[in-house]
Amino acid sequence: MPVAIFWFFCYIIEDEKYGKEVAMHESTKLKMNTFNRNFRRLFLYVSKDYDRRLSGLLNFAKRVTPNREMKEVVENVEKQIKNNPTVKMYVERLFTDYNPQYTSHLLSNVLINVGFFNTAFEKLNAKEDLPTPFTILISPTMRCNLQCEGCYAGNYTRKDDLPPEVFDRIITEGEDMGVYLYTILGGEPFIYEDLFDIINKHPHSAFQIFTNCTFLDDKKIDKMWKSKNVVPVLSIEGNKEDTDRRRGSGVYEKVVSLMDTLKKQGIPFGYSLTLTRNNFDTVTKPEFYTWLAEKGAFFGWTFLYMPVGKDDDPSRMPTPEQRAYYGKTIRSIRGRYPIFPMDFWNDAPYVGGCIAGGRKYLHINSKGEVEPCIFTHFAVDNIKEKSLREVLNSNFFKEIRSRQPFDKNLLLPCMIIDSPWQLREIVEKTGAYPTHSGADDVLTKFTEQLKEYSEGVRRVLNPVWENEFKEKRPYLYTPAEELEKQEEKKEAKVS
């Protein structure tokens, strides 16, 4: 469709079919879906000779970006590809390590729908005083065949699964407000019988599914090939000893076997690990990450062990010194090796601190209870009774967002372990209730331990913040209202 006709069609929709705000959302979706299809075609074209044709893909990306800020991001990526061997290595892996049919579909959803257009939807939603999560975490079931040591989800009831119609409605309502990334957890998500039926209803969204690797078999991988919008994230704790000690004998081999299967099929995947005092030595070695890259992993997530859930115990938490050292390790690996590891705590400065409470994410458990964070097991609402828009603006979530960031040092993002008094005050003020037995241990049983820990991380991480982060301001996320101000300033300079 010629560009002029396309834009004219968008304006006709805006003027005649919908009210102003709804039309803006619908026309933005229409633009997004058109760019999405074009990206897939262009990616497949480039994949046949990516060395010569990559510049065309980047030029297309610059044309479709919805604002100057995102265009500058693309221009920076283009510059990095030319000048930074590591970035070039990341891009090369996308074209050489994975099947282009699968990758083109998945990447179009992630880069176009989740990436470029999230900012556009954020601006539209801000006019209605509505936050736009970058992702919505959903645990459709808490059923699991493993008994992992210190599992954060181990104390939820395993009797209740989220009804399929509720699961589907969450995604539909999320897409309506511009959310196109869904992180699926549990329990073990691949136990949930209706999982792929729901995924197939939402071809424009991307699904990041965390798995223990014991239920993702060939039949389910075939279903992934039909949807091409699923990226599995494989849970591993380090080496064989580390993984089997926490997850059970024989689990490590199943993880490695699944890595080999996914690599053979050309399906992109990530890894997930929990940093504890026990596996610190293993996961701070660069060779662990080069091994993961060689096995086929493209990215990964590291979470600190949190004293919530089954057999909760603060002594498993990494020490403040270990936490700081791990952050430096990850930042070093990201610039030198062909894998993109992410640290949920030490990378907080890049997103402006805590992203919970709907600011950029939230969690809905298998009973439908709406929690601010995967580790903050408190709620005031149930999604079975309210819409997504309503729960995002609950008094509980608003109070959380009004206090973010919880500390000027963005390396201390967490209201559970870094500023535990914040969570206590928020729960008391809003009447939030614990969503399972023992969920309030962080406010009662472990008060003194967490107070001591919060003092320790300030002692260790305040100097890191002052010396490495404060002046550089490496924030990737900027609130919508701030983006508006920046664009106005740029337009004023141009005029």
| pLDDT digits 0-9 by tens, 19-66 | 344 455 777 788 888 888 888 998 999 899 988 888 887 887 777 676
CA-nearest of 192, 209, 273, 282 to 235 is: 273
What number is the average pLDDT over the span 197-215?
Answer: 97
The mean of the pLDDT values for the chain is: 88
pLDDT value at position 308? 94
Per-residue pLDDT, 238: 97
Which uninterrupted H or E stretch holds 301? strand 297-304
Q: Mean pLDDT lowest for which of 251-255, 285-289, 301-305, 489-493?
A: 489-493
Distances (CA, A) of 413 to 157, 309, 417, 422, 423: 29, 20, 9, 11, 12
Q: What is the pLDDT of residue 152?
A: 87
Give the containing element (helix H, strand E) for 184.
Answer: strand 181-184
pLDDT of residue 302: 98
Average pLDDT over residues 157-171: 94
Nearest to 208 by CA among 226, 172, 235: 235
Can you state the angle between helices 420-430 and 395-403, rounded to 10 degrees? 150
| Cβ burial 330-356 (10 Å sphere, 16+ → b, else e) | beebbeebbbbbbbbbbbbbebbbbbb
| Dihedral angle sign, alpha carbons of residues 446, 408, 359, 199 | negative
**Which carries the bigger pLDDT value, residue 144 or residue 472?**
144
Decide: 247 and 235 in contact? Cβ < 8 Å.
yes
Does pLDDT of 476 surpass 60?
A: no
Average pLDDT for 228-245: 97
Query: What integer pLDDT is reported at residue 158 of this predicted model?
Result: 79
Percentage of the chain exceeding pLDDT 70: 89
Q: Are 372 and 396 a contacting pair, CB within 8 Å?
A: yes
CB atoms within 10 A of CB 163: 14
- Name the β-bridge partners of 230: 207
pTM of the model: 0.89
Question: What local confidence, expressed as pLDDT, does residue 6 receive?
Answer: 29
Give mean pLDDT, residues 394-403.
98
* Dihedral sign (CA 296, 93, 273, 137): negative
pLDDT at residue 490, as a whole number: 46
Out of 392-396, 458-462, 465-469, which region has the weakest mean confidence (pLDDT)?
465-469
CA 270 to CA 187: how far, in whole Å?
A: 18
CA gap 406, 417 in Å, rounded: 11
**Interval 316-341: pLDDT, tens:** 999 999 999 999 999 999 878 889 99
Structure tokens at 102: 């699968």
pLDDT of 16 reads 35
Check whether 475 has a pLDDT greater than 70: no
pLDDT band at 482 (very low <50, low <70, confident <90, very high): very low
- Residue 86 pLDDT grade (very low, low, confident, very high; cuts 50, 70, 90): confident
Q: Which of the four pLDDT bands, split at 50, 70 and 90, describes residue 478? A: very low
pLDDT (0 to 100) of residue 492: 57
Structure-token pair, residue 225: 């090939």
Query: Which region among 61-65, 86-90, 296-300 has the lowest average model confidence (pLDDT)?
Result: 61-65
pLDDT tier at 167, thresholds 50, 70, 90: very high
Q: What is the pLDDT of residues 353-390, one digit of tens each?
A: 999 999 999 999 999 999 999 999 999 999 999 999 99
For residue 264, give the 3-state DSSP assignment. helix
Q: How confident is the model at residue 473 (pLDDT cuts 50, 70, 90)?
A: low
